[in-house]
């Protein structure tokens, strides 16, 4: 692994430099990400927003280490040539990302066993994170006995229990009703503040990006490029006059007619 050893507190945690990512289909190469660059701070919540198909999920998967860039560099914590690891835990949109045959406790404890915790340590730590996400009462239930919002909480607890440096979230609240979604946004914000975990979060909701983010990276239509990076960390909420201004700028950049850019498509 190529490495400058340990990015310090003041260095960016993530540097994406001129990254291009392609998929090889049978007779065709699809360029999913053409030339994307941005940086992310050590405890930052960075939102990626853009129209469907612009390569957000592809980019997230490359940061997770599931895909490799065709060109350019992704540097995480001083390292390139990334492979998947518990320092970058992933939460997806789909409710079926849980192990259906394990309880809530089992779902959160299992990955901890895999990375070497004893049974007792894994269960204790799993319980702490299940408490943190407000699911203590449901610890012994199976996924089919949970609502969509509860399933996403389990997925978040499972990711956080790994004590990742960065949480990678791909539209994790995209299939939830508006009320549950708003509640989980508030909780994620609280937990990210408490744990100092960095959050790289894909969304196509302008509201979600503005509520959760420190900064928002705005992608254009494919072939993807970064249109703008917008700082929203000091906004006081929708009553803040700057909120309206930034919101309307984001709408213009994205050419969005309404709050959600493209229905529920992932």
Ligand X SMILES: Nc1ncnc2c1ncn2[C@@H]1O[C@H](COP(=O)(O)OP(=O)(O)O)[C@@H](O)[C@H]1O
Q: What's the min distance (Å) between Cβ of 32 and ligand X? A: 3
DSSP run (H or E) holding 91:
strand 88-91
Task: Indicate which single residue of 32, 123, 133, 197 sits in contact with ligand X (rule: CB under 6 A).
Answer: 32
Q: What's the min distance (Å) between Cβ of 263 and ligand X? A: 12
Measured from the CB atom, the residue of 46 and 123 that comes closer to Mg ion is 46
User: In degrees rounded to 5, what are phi and psi of residue 209?
Assistant: -60, -40
Task: Indicate which single residue of 5, 10, 25, 257 sits in contact with ligand X (rule: CB under 6 A).
Answer: 25
> Rounded to whole angstroms, how far apart are CA atoms 50 and 60?
13
Task: Indicate which single residue of 56, 153, 158, 215 sits in contact with ligand X (rule: CB under 6 A).
Answer: 56
> Rounded to whole angstroms, how far apart are CA atoms 240 and 160?
32
> Rounded to whole angstroms, how far apart are CA atoms 125 and 134?
14
Task: Indicate which single residue of 34, 57, 152, 203 sits in contact with Mg ion (rule: CB under 5 A).
Answer: 57
Residue 266 found at the interface with Mg ion (CB under 5 A): yes
Residue 36 found at the interface with ligand X (CB under 6 A): no
Tokens 């941005």 found at: 38
> Rounded to whole angstroms, how far apart are CA atoms 218 and 204?
10
Residue 12 found at the interface with ligand X (CB under 6 A): no
Residue 26 found at the interface with ligand X (CB under 6 A): no
Q: Which stretch binds Mg ion (CB under 5 A): 27-35, 41-49, 56-64, 147-155?
A: 56-64
Q: How many CB atoms lie within 10 A of CB 79?
A: 18
Binding mask 58-77 for ligand X (x = CB under 6 A): x-------------------
12 binds, options ligand X, Mg ion, none, Cβ within 5 to 8 A by partner type: none
Task: Indicate which single residue of 30, 114, 115, 264 sits in contact with ligand X (rule: CB under 6 A).
Answer: 30
User: In degrees rounded to 5, what are phi and psi of residue 236?
Assistant: -90, 0
Buried b (16+ CB within 10 A) or exposed e, 93-121: bbbebbeeeebbbbbbbebbeeeebeeee
Cα angle: 110, vertex 167, 158; to 5 degrees: 20
Q: How many CB atoms lie within 10 A of CB 129?
A: 23
**What angle separates helix 178-195 from helix 148-161, to the nearest 10 degrees?**
10
Residue 85 found at the interface with Mg ion (CB under 5 A): no
Q: Which stretch binds Mg ion (CB under 5 A): 104-112, 129-137, 155-163, 258-266?
A: 258-266
Residue 211 found at the interface with Mg ion (CB under 5 A): no
Task: Indicate which single residue of 3, 4, 18, 23 sits in contact with ligand X (rule: CB under 6 A).
Answer: 23
Residue 103 found at the interface with ligand X (CB under 6 A): no
Contacts with ligand X, residue ranges (CB under 6 A): 23, 25, 30, 32, 50, 52-58, 222
Contacts with Mg ion, residue ranges (CB under 5 A): 57, 266
């Amino acid at each position: 692994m190529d490495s400058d050893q340990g990015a310090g507190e003041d260095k960016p945690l993530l540097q994406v430099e001129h990254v291009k990512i392609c998929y090889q289909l049978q007779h065709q190469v699809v360029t999913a990400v053409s030339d994307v660059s941005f940086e992310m701070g050590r405890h930052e919540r960075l939102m990626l927003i853009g129209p469907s198909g612009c390569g957000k999920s592809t980019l997230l998967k490359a940061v997770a280490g599931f895909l490799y860039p065709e060109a350019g560099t992704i540097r995480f914590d001083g390292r390139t040539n990334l492979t998947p690891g518990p320092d970058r835990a992933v939460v997806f949109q789909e409710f079926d990302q849980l192990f259906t045959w394990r309880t809530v406790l089992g779902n959160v404890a299992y990955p901890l066993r895999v990375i070497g915790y004893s049974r007792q340590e894994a269960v204790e730590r799993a319980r702490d994170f299940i408490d943190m996400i407000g699911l203590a009462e449901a610890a012994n239930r199976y996924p089919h006995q949970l609502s969509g919002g509860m399933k996403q909480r389990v997925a978040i607890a499972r990711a956080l229990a790994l004590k990742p440096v960065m949480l990678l979230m791909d539209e994790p609240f995209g299939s939830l009703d508006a009320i549950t979604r708003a509640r989980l946004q508030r909780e994620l914000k609280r937990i990210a503040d408490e744990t100092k975990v960095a959050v790289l979060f894909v969304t196509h909701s302008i509201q979600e990006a503005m509520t959760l983010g420190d900064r928002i990276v705005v992608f254009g239509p494919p072939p993807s490029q970064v249109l703008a990076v917008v700082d929203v960390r000091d906004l006081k909420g929708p009553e803040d006059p700057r909120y309206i201004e930034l919101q309307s700028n984001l709408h213009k950049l994205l050419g969005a007619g309404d709050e959600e850019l493209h229905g529920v498509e992932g």
